[in-house]
Amino acid sequence: MKEVILLKNGELALKGLNRRTFEDILVRNALWRLADLGRFRFVPSQSTIMAEPLDEDIDLDEAVDRLTRVFGFAGLSRAAAVEKDMNTILSMTGDYLAKELLAARTFKVNAKRSDKKFPFDSPQICMDLGEVLLESYPHLQVDVRNPELTVTVEIRDKYAFIHGNQIKGAGGMPVSSSGKAALLISGGIDSPVAGWMMAKRGLSLIAVHFASPPYTSPKAEIKVHNLLKKVAAYSGRITLFVVPFTEIQEQIKDNCPEELFTLIMRRMMMKIAEIIALRENCGALITGECVGQVASQTMQSLAVTNAAVDLPVFRPLIGMDKEDVVLLSRKIDTFDISIQPYEDCCTIFTPKHPRTRPKLEYVVKAENMLDIDLLITEAVNGMKIMNIH
């Protein structure tokens, strides 16, 4: 028996004229994600895309699992594609969905007939199939309002599809349909979540990480690598730029007032990230900042940080509670990596009494004690680049 995966488009359906373009991007992203499992053909029709395996022995469970992490699909179902013949449907459904039917206590049949030439209408399919299933699985009861299992039969142009409950998709918009942005990633809980949220809105990502060896250990860098792998399971490939930051931090420490360390460091990060972002055709920066979390994230500090760059800075966590961010980081499986103890560069030169209401002029004046252009050029020249997927 032939099996396929039926994918329901999410917000795509709203896109009107651009729908074809969005669908093309979505299919390209999905194909890329499945490439090493075998060949697939994607056939769009209305708000569903059918993914049809073209090779024998493709691991469909793995394919379904990966597709639940492709943004742009609202839901998916693994389905049997059978001949459009009532007897075939009646005889095959009970076997195909045996596991689900045995586990459920209540069910209903849902029939969709988009091929109006099919000689049985939807109510007839529901009635006949319901009867057959009740005979084979006498423990079941019909519940049309709130069934544990909905058995769906879709009569389309080429096949009849049979499937059980739909699995929830990742939602959002296909990655790269909204352009590209640069994520500033530390090793903390927040920035991977911030990147994931923006990828969900259709942005493809590059990532910038500032490392300060020997103050920070190579393990901190591996941690960032592992975090990005988890994000890339949703966003697709991420190019990571690791920027050497030790010299800049030492210079700030030696030349600037202690109360401004964090802020000036943050501004330097933004300036360098902006240079990389522009080179890589990104339209925005992304950070994991949130109002009120720490001294460098008061409204005034954020304003001073923002003023370091011209590109828009997306801060998707800005109004979220930590608790909700943690929930998301558990959902995308970054939490356990984020809480590993390796120091990141921010924790090393933390001032005892940071400024919480800095004035921009004062910060800029202090910053001008540094040879900013030279420091930035050296940092950018020394960076390492790697691809993560």
Give dist(CA 322, CA 230) in Å, integer.
20
Question: What does the H/E/C string look like for the chain?
Answer: CEEEEEEEECHHHHCHHHHHHHHHHHHHHHHHHHHHHCCEEEEEECCEEEEEECCCCCCHHHHHHHHCCCCCEEEEEEEEEECCCHHHHHHHHHHHCHHHHHHCCEEEEEEEECCCCCCCCHHHHHHHHHHHHHHHCCCCEECCCCCCEEEEEEECCCCEEEECCCEECCCCECCCCCEEEEEECCCCCHHHHHHHHHHHECEEEEEEEEECCCCCCHHHHHHHHHHHHHHHHHHCCEEEEEEECHHHHHHHHHHCCHHHHHHHHHHHHHHHHHHHHHHCCCCEEECCCCCCCCHHHCHHHHHHHHCCCCCCEECCCCCCCHHHHHHHHHHCCCHHHHCCCCCCHHHCCCCCCCCCCCCHHHHHHHHCCCCHHHHHHHHHHCCEEEEEC
Binding-site partner at residue 264 among ligand ATP, Mg ion, none, CB < 5 to 8 Å by type = none
Q: Any contact of residue 376 with ligand ATP (CB under 6 A)? A: no
Give the footprint of ligand ATP on residues 137-196 (CB under 6 A): 184-186, 188-191
Find the shortest distance in angstroms from Cβ 338 to Mg ion: 9
Nearer to ligand ATP, 120 or 215 (CB): 215
Q: Any contact of residue 249 with ligand ATP (CB under 6 A)? A: no
Nearer to Mg ion, 204 or 216 (CB): 216
Nearest to 152 by CA among 141, 162, 167: 162
Find the shortest distance in angstroms from Cβ 276 to Mg ion: 19
Among the residue ranges 4-12, 104-112, 233-241, 284-292, the one whose residues contact ligand ATP (CB under 6 A): 284-292
* Residues touching ligand ATP, count (CB under 6 A): 20
Q: Any contact of residue 354 with Mg ion (CB under 5 A)? A: no
Q: Any contact of residue 227 with ligand ATP (CB under 6 A)? A: no
Among the residue ranges 46-54, 110-118, 282-290, 352-360, the one whose residues contact ligand ATP (CB under 6 A): 282-290
Find the shortest distance in angstroms from Cβ 305 to ligand ATP: 9
Nearer to ligand ATP, 160 or 313 (CB): 313
Nearer to ligand ATP, 174 or 188 (CB): 188
Binding-site partner at residue 170 among Mg ion, ligand ATP, none, CB < 5 to 8 Å by type = none
Q: Any contact of residue 188 with Mg ion (CB under 5 A)? A: yes
Nearer to Mg ion, 186 or 204 (CB): 186
- C-alpha distance from residue 72 to each of 9, 203, 251 (Å): 6, 12, 45
Residue from 33, 209, 223, 267 in contact with ligand ATP (CB under 6 A): 209
Give dist(CA 164, CA 152) in Å, integer.
6
Find the shortest distance in angstroms from Cβ 348 to Mg ion: 12
Q: Any contact of residue 306 with ligand ATP (CB under 6 A)? A: no
Residue 375 neighbours by CB distance under 10 Å: 18
Residue from 346, 363, 375, 379 in contact with ligand ATP (CB under 6 A): 346
Q: Any contact of residue 328 with ligand ATP (CB under 6 A)? A: no
The closest residue (CB) to ligand ATP is 188
Binding-site partner at residue 294 among ligand ATP, Mg ion, none, CB < 5 to 8 Å by type = ligand ATP
Among the residue ranges 31-39, 172-180, 225-233, 281-289, the one whose residues contact ligand ATP (CB under 6 A): 281-289
**Interface residues with Mg ion (CB under 5 A)?**
186, 188
**Interface residues with ligand ATP (CB under 6 A)?**
184-186, 188-191, 208-210, 269, 287-289, 293-294, 296, 344-346
